[in-house]
Structure 1
Amino acid sequence: MNSFTLFKRSLFQITELNQAKKMPFWKVILYVVFLSIILALPITKQIFSIMQDIKNDGQKIAAKLPEFEITNGKLHAASNAEGFIYQTNSIIFTFDPDGKRTLSDVTADSVGNAVSLGFLQDEFVIALPNSGAADSLLGANQFEVPYAKGALDGLNSQDLKQGLDEASVPFWIKLIVFVFTLYPTFINLIINLLMITIGANLYSKIRLYKLRFIDCLKITTYSATLPVIVSSVLHFINQSFDDSFLIVFASLLIFFFALRNEERQIPPLA
C-alpha cells in the first residue's frame, strides 16, 4: 500500500480508503503537503497575475512621469513638472516633488486591493492593502525609503522607465511567493483535517469501529483528496470561494463511506 494507490482509490474506490490506517505517519504528512500544493496553485496563480498587472500598470504610470532625478536626498523634477496622482486597477501612484503630501496621505489612498506608491519630496513610500497578510508576513503594511539614505540616489525617470520595460519576475521570486502561499495553506489544511478527524473519531466510536484517533486522522487525510481537488478547481473559477466548509463536509461524508468495509466491535451483552 502506498500513497499513489490511495490517491487513485480516493477518486474511484472510496470504500477502500480505510486501508489508509496502515500508512506510516510520515507518509501521511507528506500527503498533506501534496494536498496543500494543490490548494496553493490557484492562489499562487492569482498572485502572479496581480504581479503582472502591477508591472503593466507601472509601465503606464512611467510613461506619464516627467523628467526627474533623486540627488542629495531630494526629488528634483523639471521646472515645469507638476505633482499628480494616477490610479490604475492595481496601483494608486503619487508624484509629489513639491512636498504637498505625506506618508499618511499616500497610505490613506490605498483602497481595495490597490497598492499605493509615492515619490514624495524626501522619500519613496509603499502602502499595501490592509488585508492582514502584510502584517503577518512582513510585520507592517507601509514602508518608507528616505532618499537621504542613498538607496535611490541617482535614480531618474529614464532609468525607471527602462527598468520597468525590461523587468521580469525571476524564478527565485516566484519560488519564494509559492512558499509563502504554501505555508498558510498547509496550516489551514491541518486545522481542517483535525476538525474532520474529531467528527470522524466520534462517529467511529458511536459505530463501534476499532479505530484509534490516529487511524481516523490517516483515513480523513486521504478522504480529503477529492474535496481538495474540487475546491482548487472552484478557486480557479471564483477567486473569492471559501473552501473550508466544502473540504470539511465532503471529507467527512467520504470518511463515512470509507468505513463500510471496516471491522466493528461486538457490543457487550447486557
Structure 2
Amino acid sequence: MNVFKQLFKSLYSPKDIASYRNQGIGKTILYVFLLSLISVLPSVFYMNGALKEAVQMASESLNELPEFTIENGQLHSEAKEPLTIQEGSFSIIFDPTGAMDSSTVSEMGDGIALLKNEIVLSAGGGINTAAYSMLGNEPISKQDLSELLASSHSALPIIISLLAGTVFLVNSALKFIEVSVLALFGLLLKNILARPLQYRHVWRMAAYSVTLPTLFFTVMDLLKTPVPYGFVLNWTIALIVLLLAIQEIPQKDKPSLA
C-alpha cells in the first residue's frame, strides 16, 4: 500500500493503523516527512504571497521612512519612536528604539518590520526573522537598501525556496519529536491494555495516529482560522486514535521481528 492510501485510511481506520506496526521503518519515516510537508504548505503559501507583497510595498514605502543605517548588527536612526506605515492589510514597521520585538509584530497581522536587531516577516500567522548580523559588517544605508530591493525581484524564487526549505526542516524535526513522545505515551497505553508491543511498533503506529490532527490543523491554517486550545486538542486526538489502534491488536498477537 502506498503512503497516500495509508494517509487516507489513517484518517478513519484504527485497524489499518494497527496493521502498519510491522512495516519497514523507512516507509514510516517517509510518511512522517510527507505529513510534515503537508503541514507546512499553508505557511509556505502565505509566506510566498507576503514576501512578494513585502518587497513591493517596501520598495514603494521606503521613501517615507527616516534616514537610517544598519551597522554592527543594529538599526541606527535619529527616529525617537516606532513608525508604522499601513497599506491595506499590510504593515511596514520601523523601530530603531528596541521598543518592539517579533512577538509584537505577529500581533499586527501580515507585514514586515525593521527592528533594532533584526528584520521580521509576519505572514499567515507565522513569523520569520533574520538578524542584521547575517548581512555582514559593511554599513547599509537607506539608499543601499532601496537599490537592493529594486534588484531583489529576480532573486525572490531563490529566497522563498530557501525559507520554505528551512520551515520544512524545522517542522519535520518537530513532527519526529511529536511522534516519539506520543509513542512513549503509547507504551503506557499498551501496558494498561496488556498488548504485546515493543516501542518500535508503537512508534510506527504513533506516526499514523497524528494524521488526523495534522490534516485538521493544516486546513485551519489554510483558512486562517485559530483553534482554541489547539495544543491540547492536537494531543488529545492523537492519543485517542493511538489508543483505538492499540485496542485493535489481539492480546495474544506476537510482535513481528520485521
Same-fold status (TM-score > 0.5) = yes
Answer yes or no: is 1:23 the counterpart of 2:23. Answer: yes
Match of 1:91 in 2: 92
Calculate percent identity across the aligned residue pairs. Answer: 19
CA displacement 1:135-157 (0-9 Å, x = unmatched): xxx6x4666766xx5887x9597
Which one has a bigger Cα radius of gyration?
Answer: 1
- The answer to whether the aligner puts 1:263 opposite 2:253 as a matched pair is no
* 1:224 corresponding residue in structure 2: 210
Distance 1:243 1:28, change over 3 A: farther
How far 1:169 sits from its partner (Å)? Answer: 5.2
In 1, Cα distance between the equivalents of 2:2 and 2:145?
59
CA distance in 2, matches of 1:150, 1:221: 48
Following superposition of structure 1 onto structure 2, how do residues 139-158 of structure 1 map, counting pairs within 5 Å?
Answer: 140=131, 149=138
TM-score, length of structure 1 as denominator length:
0.67
Match of 2:5 in 1: 5
- State the AA in 2 paired with 1:188: L
Contact 1:109 1:116 in 2 (8 A): no
Superposed CA RMSD: 3.9
Match of 1:235 in 2: 221
Is 2:195–2:250's contact at 8 Å kept on the other side of the alignment?
A: yes
SS at match of 2:195: coil
Taking the aligned partners of 2:140 and 2:119, their CA distance within structure 1 comes to 21
Please tell me whether the aligned partners of residues 227 and 247 of structure 1 are also in contact (alpha carbons under 8 angstroms): yes
1:108 aligns to 2:98 (yes or no): yes
SS in 2 for 1:208: coil
**Gaps (5+ residues) in structure 1?**
71-81, 94-104, 118-124
**Do residues 187 (structure 1) and 178 (structure 2) align?**
no
The answer for the alignment partner of 1:197 in structure 2 is 183
Indicate if the aligned counterparts of 1:195 and 1:248 stay in contact, CA closer than 8 A. Answer: no
Match for residue 47 of structure 2? 47
1:128 matched to 2:124: no
Give the 3-state SS of the residue equivalent to 1:91 in structure 2: strand
1:235-262 deviation line (CA, Å, top 9, x unaligned): 2233765754333221111112223431
* 1:108 counterpart letter in structure 2: G
Quick one: structure 1 residues 257 and 142, their matched pair in 2 at CA, closer, same or farther if it must change by over 3 Å? same
Alignment partner of 2:169: what SS?
Answer: helix
Give CA-to-partner distance per residue, 1:83-131, whole Å, 9 cap, x none: 99853254334xxxxxxxxxxx7152545225227xxxxxxx8633599
**What is the TM-score with the length of structure 2 in the denominator?**
0.70
What secondary structure, in the 3-state scheme, does the structure 2 residue paired with 1:87 have? strand
Q: Distance in 2 between matches of 1:145 and 1:263?
A: 62
Distance 1:91 1:24, change over 3 A: same
Unmatched tracts of structure 2, length 5 or more: 70-77, 106-111, 254-258
